[in-house]
Amino acid sequence: MVLVGVEQAIILAVVLSLLQHVRRSYRPYTRVVVQDGVDHWQLEEAVPGRMIVPGMIMYWFGSDLFYANAGFFAGQVRKLVNDSPTPVRWLVIDCSAITNLDFSAGRALMDLHQDLAKAGVVLALSRLQLAPRGNLDRLGLVDLIGANRIFDSGHASIEAYRSETKS
């Protein structure tokens, strides 16, 4: 016995798909980038203490940054830094999945930068996907973070970190 017709099943499928999309946008996948023994990079669960090199966390956020997920983003970053069993000197955000940033997310990034700076942690960005830095310039984030802390690749951010910290 068929409980619903074809039209209702299609509508249900569309609604379920939209709900799944909304869930992934509000609570996207997050990971930290780590290196294995042969210098391959992998995405692993975002757990305090996982670093790409000693003292440096590279955090990957799997969605655009906007008002609804900015708090989740900032909370995850703070947890990675504050709960790390070893000192964090740099936190690099891998922006490869972030193609848009709204005002609320920009404000959260400013607050995060300030909190990290107070703790002696450098905030940097790598693999920026925003068309020519988009809202970062408009919101004053390039000036705040520093153009010298925005990198084209993860390797470039690691080189800068090692050069600056001599590690």
Q: State pLDDT tens for residues 61-93.
A: 998 888 889 999 999 999 999 999 999 999 999
pLDDT in tens, 38-68: 778 899 999 999 999 999 999 999 988 888 8
For Cα atoms 49, 94, 77, give the angle at the middle one, nearest 5 degrees: 45
Q: How many CB atoms lie within 10 A of CB 52?
A: 22
Domains defined for the chain, CATH in brackets: 28-165 (3.30.750.24)
Sheet of strand 122-126: strand arrangement: 41-45, 30-35, 56-61, 90-94, 122-126, 150-151
Q: Is 6 exposed, middle or buried (0-12, 13-18, 19+ CB in 10 A)?
A: exposed
pLDDT in tens, 112-123: 999 999 999 999
Rounded distance, CA 84 to CA 46, Å?
A: 11
1: pLDDT confidence band, cut at 50, 70 and 90?
A: very low
Q: What is the pLDDT of residue 11?
A: 77
Number of other residues whose CB lies within 10 A of the CB of residue 21: 10
- pLDDT tens-place string over residues 13-33: 777 676 665 666 667 889 999
